[in-house]
Structure 1
Amino acid sequence: MTTTTATQILHPWIATLRTLLAIVAGSVVAIFGFITALAVFAPQFLEAVAAILPPEWLAWATAAVATLGAVSAAITRVMAIPGVNEWLAKIRLGAQPSK
């Protein structure tokens, strides 16, 4: 029986960057998809929200997505530490599939 090391452990920064990309891309697609759906199905709702929100709301939304990505990437990097991965494996959440 050969034991192999998961790529998340061997290359933690690649796993971190992949998580960052997935979170940011997913958030952007979801947010803009939601806004597009509102624009099509409920334009009066967007007009009402635009009257309430400050003009800088887009900058705040962008910062929220960036923060979410950074926090997720940091957590992924910590989870790629061998000692943390060993602990996660004990609860069947390690980088290697449990057998």
Structure 2
Amino acid sequence: MGHVVIDVMLKPEILDPQGQAVGGALPRLGFDQFTDVRQGKRFVLTVDGDVTDEHLTAAREAAEKLLSNPVIEDVVSVRELRADEDPDQ
């Protein structure tokens, strides 16, 4: 089985209240080295067999048509999950 990972993020000009809340909490918990936080979405699609270029093309199309809202979000990556990565992480 192969896996395709799709990452979707809010466009830079869109306000990110969840990211701001996390960004405000990090210094209070001792993590003061971070200057900004943006939250996003990750999708993991499973295919039978190895991931092909056709799978990646179809995944990008699905990401643009269904998995993201093109008005406020960008599809930032569509890639095959590496063998050393956990699909549930």
TM-score scaled to structure 2, two decimals?
0.29
Structure (1/2) with the larger helix percentage: 1
Structure (1/2) with the larger strand percentage: 2
TM-score scaled to structure 1, two decimals?
0.27
Structure index of larger Rg? 1
